[in-house]
Amino acid sequence: MDILSWIADIINGVPILGQCLNDLGACGDALKIGLFNGLIIALIAIGYTLVYGILQLINFANGDVFMIGTLLTFVGVSALGLTEGSAPTIVFVSLLGLLVVIMIVTASLNASIERLAYRPLRNAPTLATLISAIGMSFVLQNVGQVILGPAPKSLPRLLSNQTVFSLGVVDFRFNELFVALITVPLLIALAWFVQNTRQGKAMRATAQDREAAGLMGINVNRTISVTFLLAGALAGGAGLVVALFFGQAWWFFGFPFGLLAFTAAVLGGIGNLTGAALGGVMLGLVRALNERYVDPRWTDVVVFSILIIVLVVRPSGILGEKRTEGS
Amino acid sequence: MAVVTSPVGARRGFPNPFRDVAASRRQRTILVVLLVLAIGYPFFYQAIPDVLPRPSVNNLIVMVYYAILALGLNIVVGFAGLLDLGYVAFYVFGAYSTAFLASPIFGLHVSWWLVIVVAVAVAATAGILLGAPTLRLRGDYLAIVTLGFGEIVPQLVRNLDKVNINILGVQVIGPDFNLTGGPLGINPIDAPTLPIPGPWGRELVFSNGNPAGSLYLAMGLLVLSFFVCRRLRDSRLGRAWMAIREDETAAASMGINTVTTKLLAFALGASFSGLVGAFVGAYQTAVFPESFNFSVSISILIMVILGGMGSLRGVIVGAFVMTYVSQTLLPFLGGFIDGPVQSFGKQTGVGFLENFTLVAYNFLIFGVILALLMIFRPEGLLPAAARKAELHGEGVAAEATFGTDTSVADAATEFEEQIGGIAEAEGPGASPPGAPGAPGAPGAPAGEETAGGAS
């Protein structure tokens, strides 16, 4: 089945909704997978949107910092000697420890990239910084390729896929709940940080007007560093989740996930944290429905067509940009 | 009394019509020498000793057609200031329209010299169609939408091998109508031929079987593109593009139709990739969807920025340098370095050095070069004069241009001129304090302050 015949199907009056109602179990399954994938996309998307909000820079390297997260998970799991047979408690504790370590490493990686490659360009045209970001993305991809080799590396299945509970016709499995267990608290913690802490306030002020924030005594450079730390930490967390959930680490992961996440950020309204989370979940759902009911070969076409249609109708995303005028 | 800084109008680097005659003659000489060298290259390159990193004729062809692509993208990014991250989409249109018209897939075998016109027209139309919905979008939204097109179009050609359209029970197309050949691509495509008999046979064929001929064809296209781009740059349209790049609102208020101008930038920029698509399809006598991906778009963008956005010579040099380094220089240097590093790795037991190949670090090297280049020479290797002045100008006004609005720079210039005027009016004779000096400067503070500040 291809997209053209699907469009023809719509004309013929057989929309996805009808198929969904015919088989609630399969449909609920697709929605559930979409939701969990969407949460992962949201984590990376927030990294893009945070940086964009503060520097108006598409940080191309963000997706590759995420890839480094999957790489570190692979390295960590091998180093700790975790296998499918390891005791669940040991697995759980060591994974949590690994998560913290990875988040610290990717956060410092992202902040050092900013320090080395973007800060000297603070006053240069944005395009120069964008190219520098592309350069950093190349460097990280190459590092990943050297460490992991050209082919994807498989991780042991550490998370069981036993059903934990069922909601109607939809089964929730342990590995899926693990995704939610990591992503949801991280999203909430980030929202809390940005809304309620002093540093978060400084971030919002810097995003609104960097010069005025500097004049008010905010240390702009430190605020930008903190932004990159946060973005890197979230990307690292997403990396661990993806590596465990999909059971793979690959040097090329940064590009498809990064592209999807950036699309999600733009879809929701770039610079807008809620928008990025919403866009991520939306894209996850769209992709899952597409893969279930249309054809996985057309995923990118569907995703980008939606993006283009949304932007044509609402040029600044679904929720709009949270930025002051004229900046 | 010296004026503090020279006004903006007298900045060095701005083209001066009376001074450039000798320079343009010199440029023409350089161009002719380069052309002669390139034309002779297929004959003497065998004579260049192997120890030098010489590009093969086929590598030279790749360098030339990437230069044309860079010239095309330069219209969109460099002249009109629209960031396009999906330039590969137009390239696909050019290549596949060539494949449709001159291959066994539909049994059409149109002459390439006609096909190239169609390919350019198709790519330009695609530029308008893809450009139209993006016109309302600002900078980075435009970037992501064009990136989206750059992903959609190659996926379309990869997937449209079993088209099946059935509307209201009527089979319009299909079933399993093969439009694009799917992942296998379209093969073989007719090569361009000219009915000139000679030692090469009954007719002259420009395909990978005849590298020298293909090189001349590609160079002909490059020279053509260069002059078209130069005329465009100096035309009314070119000035309108640059006005939009500098300040869209101001350009619109000066009577420039921004919609048409931007669409023309997309269309004309795309037409060059249509040209290259037609050339590459015929030269390789095949098209594959795998050869059109994001990295192509990014490489071309890097060439444009590496060489110097908006500078025609710059982007050509950028394309040459980048293609040469990745295709010829790195494998060449690898030939020297790989062996010793591998044996060093074996001796010391360092795992990843044992399988070291320099080519595997291609992207790492490029990434570092890109970042360093942006930090130390953001205007590119051979920048356009205006941009160089903008990034390396002198005085307060030029500093204000650095990353901020041009209006700020203009305001700063005005301010400087005022201060300069005050200084000139008051400097000679050292007018006594309190005297009604500097009547021309409105709101001038007390005389001694200004005079003290300017001297």
Preferred mutation among A300, A306, A310 to probe B, highest tally of B CBs within 10 A: A300
Collect all residues of chain B within an 8 Å Cβ-Cβ radius of residue A114: none
Asked which of A137-141, A232-236, B12-16 is least confident by mean pLDDT, the reply is B12-16
* A/B interface, count of CB pairs below 8 Å: 151
Chain-chain contact of A135 with B366 (C-beta, under 8 angstroms):
yes
B165 compared with A65, residue with greater pLDDT: A65
Give the mean pLDDT of A138-156: 90
| Token representation of residue A298 | 């057309």
Domain encompassing residue B136:
52-338
* Cα-based angle A229, A230, A234 (whole degrees, multiple of 5): 115
Q: What is the per-residue pLDDT for B195?
A: 80
B95 and B181 together in one domain: yes
From the list B133, B152, B403, the residue facing A312 with the nearest CB is B133
Residue-wise DSSP of B406-426: HHHHHHHHHHHHHHHHHHHHH
Chain-chain contact of A263 with B375 (C-beta, under 8 angstroms):
no
Q: Is residue B125 very low, low, confident or very high in pLDDT (cuts 50, 70, 90)?
A: very high
B238: in domain? yes
Q: Is the pLDDT of residue B14 over 80?
A: no
Q: Does A14 touch chain B (CB under 8 A)?
A: no
B331 and B418 together in one domain: no
B83 and B209 together in one domain: yes
B19: in domain? no
B387: in domain? no
Closest Cα to residue B304, out of B283, B292, B322?
A: B322
What residues does A171 pair with on adjacent strands?
Answer: A166
Prediction pTM value: 0.82
Chain-chain contact of B152 with A304 (C-beta, under 8 angstroms):
yes
Collect all residues of chain A within an 8 Å Cβ-Cβ radius of residue B145: 307-308, 311
B242: in domain? yes
Collect all residues of chain B within an 8 Å Cβ-Cβ radius of residue A255: 294
Portion of chain A with pLDDT greater than 70, in percent: 93
Q: What is the ipTM, given to two decimal places?
A: 0.84
Collect all residues of chain A within an 8 Å Cβ-Cβ radius of residue B144: 58, 262-263, 266, 307
Q: Is residue B17 very low, low, confident or very high in pLDDT (cuts 50, 70, 90)?
A: low
B328 and B400 together in one domain: no
Q: What are phi and psi of B167, to 5 degrees?
A: -110, 125
Collect all residues of chain B within an 8 Å Cβ-Cβ radius of residue A251: none
Neighbours of B260 (CB within 10 A): 11
Collect all residues of chain A within an 8 Å Cβ-Cβ radius of residue B364: 138-139, 142-143, 146
Collect all residues of chain B within an 8 Å Cβ-Cβ radius of residue A138: 363-364, 366-367, 370
Q: Does A62 touch chain B (CB under 8 A)?
A: no
Q: For the domain that residue B96 is a member of, what is the CATH number?
A: 1.10.3470
Asked which of A241-250, B237-246, B332-341 is least confident by mean pLDDT, the reply is B332-341
B231: in domain? yes
**What residue of B is the nearest CA neighbor of A124?**
B403
Q: What is the pLDDT of residues B334-347, one digit of tens each?
A: 888 888 888 888 88
Q: Is residue A231 very low, low, confident or very high in pLDDT (cuts 50, 70, 90)?
A: very high
The count of domains in chain B is: 2
Give the integer Cα–Cα distance in Å for B159 and A297. Answer: 7
Chain-chain contact of A127 with B309 (C-beta, under 8 angstroms):
yes
Chain-chain contact of B402 with A316 (C-beta, under 8 angstroms):
no
Chain-chain contact of B144 with A315 (C-beta, under 8 angstroms):
no
B400 and B334 together in one domain: no
Q: Check: CB of residue B191 under 8 Å from CB of residue B115.
A: no
Q: Last residue of some domain: B295, B322, B338?
A: B338
Collect all residues of chain A within an 8 Å Cβ-Cβ radius of residue B368: 135, 139
Give the mean pLDDT of B177-196: 84
Distance from CA of A118 to the nearest CA of B (A): 8
B331 and B402 together in one domain: no
Portion of chain A with pLDDT greater than 90, in percent: 54
Q: Are strands B170-177 and B163-167 parallel, antiparallel or unpaired?
A: antiparallel
B186 and B62 together in one domain: yes
Preferred mutation among B82, B357, B364, B407 to probe A, highest tally of A CBs within 10 A: B364
Secondary structure (H, E, C), chain A: CCHHHHHHHHHHCCCHHHHHHHCHHHHHHHHHHHHHHHHHHHHHHHHHHHHHHHHCCCCCHHHHHHHHHHHHHHHHHHHHCCCCCCCHHHHHHHHHHHHHHHHHHHHHHHHHHHHHHHHHHCCCCHHHHHHHHHHHHHHHHHHHHHHHCCCCEECCCCCCCCEEEEECCEEEEHHHHHHHHHHHHHHHHHHHHHHHCHHHHHHHHHHHCHHHHHHCCCCHHHHHHHHHHHHHHHHHHHHHHHHHHHCEECCCCHHHHHHHHHHHHHHHCCCCHHHHHHHHHHHHHHHHHHHHHCCHHHHHHHHHHHHHHHHHHCCCCCCCCCCCCCC
Chain-chain contact of B378 with A126 (C-beta, under 8 angstroms):
no
**What residue of A is the nearest CA neighbor of B146?**
A308
**What residue of A is the nearest CA neighbor of B175?**
A5
| Token representation of residue B282 | 């015929």
Q: Check: CB of residue B62 under 8 Å from CB of residue B69.
A: no
Give the mean pLDDT of B131-157: 84
Distance from CA of B401 to the nearest CA of A (A): 10
Chain-chain contact of B374 with A116 (C-beta, under 8 angstroms):
no
Collect all residues of chain B within an 8 Å Cβ-Cβ radius of residue A5: 164-166
B53 compared with A259, residue with greater pLDDT: A259
Mean pLDDT of chain B: 78
From the list B139, B159, B403, the residue facing A123 with the nearest CB is B403
Q: What is the pLDDT of residues A178-204, one digit of tens each?
A: 999 999 999 999 999 999 999 999 999
B192 compared with B433, residue with greater pLDDT: B192
B371: in domain? no
Q: What is the per-residue pLDDT for A107?
A: 97
Q: Last residue of some domain: B308, B338, B368?
A: B338
From the list B166, B169, B363, the residue facing A138 with the nearest CB is B363
Chain-chain contact of B370 with A132 (C-beta, under 8 angstroms):
yes
Neighbours of A127 (CB within 10 A): 21
Q: What is the per-residue pLDDT for B6?
A: 43
Q: Does A59 touch chain B (CB under 8 A)?
A: no
**What residue of B is the nearest CA neighbor of A147?**
B352
Q: What is the per-residue pLDDT for B104?
A: 86
The alpha-carbon radius of gyration of chain B (Å, integer) is: 28
**What residue of B is the nearest CA neighbor of A255?**
B294
B287 and B399 together in one domain: no
Chain-chain contact of B374 with A128 (C-beta, under 8 angstroms):
yes
**What residue of B is the nearest CA neighbor of A59?**
B140
Give the integer Cα–Cα distance in Å for B184 and B286. Answer: 10
Collect all residues of chain A within an 8 Å Cβ-Cβ radius of residue B367: 134-140, 142
Q: Does A13 touch chain B (CB under 8 A)?
A: no
Chain-chain contact of A301 with B156 (C-beta, under 8 angstroms):
yes
B77: in domain? yes
Chain-chain contact of A136 with B371 (C-beta, under 8 angstroms):
yes
B222 compared with B453, residue with greater pLDDT: B222
The alpha-carbon radius of gyration of chain A (Å, integer) is: 20
Q: What is the per-residue pLDDT for B343?
A: 84
B220 and B298 together in one domain: yes
Give the mean pLDDT of A241-263: 92
B69 and B167 together in one domain: yes
Q: Is the pLDDT of residue A27 over 90?
A: no
Q: What is the pLDDT of residues B287-333, one digit of tens each?
A: 999 889 888 998 999 899 888 888 998 999 999 999 998 888 888 88
Distance from CA of A138 to the nearest CA of B (A): 5
From the list A5, A52, A130, the residue facing B166 with the nearest CB is A5
Portion of chain B with pLDDT greater than 70, in percent: 77
Collect all residues of chain B within an 8 Å Cβ-Cβ radius of residue A263: 144, 148
In chain A, positions 227-256, which contact chain B (CB-CB < 8 Å)?
Answer: 255
Q: Is the pLDDT of residue A160 over 90?
A: no
3-class state of residue B186 by DSSP: strand
B169 and B300 together in one domain: yes
B314 and B427 together in one domain: no
B427: in domain? yes
Determine the angle formed by the axes of helices B88-101 and B294-307, rounding to 10 degrees: 120
Q: Last residue of some domain: B323, B338, B353?
A: B338
Q: Are strands A248-249 and A170-173 parallel, antiparallel or unpaired?
A: unpaired
Q: Is the pLDDT of residue B429 over 50?
A: no
Domains and CATH numbers, chain A: 3-313 (1.10.3470)
| Token representation of residue A211 | 């010069």
Chain-chain contact of A146 with B371 (C-beta, under 8 angstroms):
no
Q: What is the per-residue pLDDT for B219?
A: 92
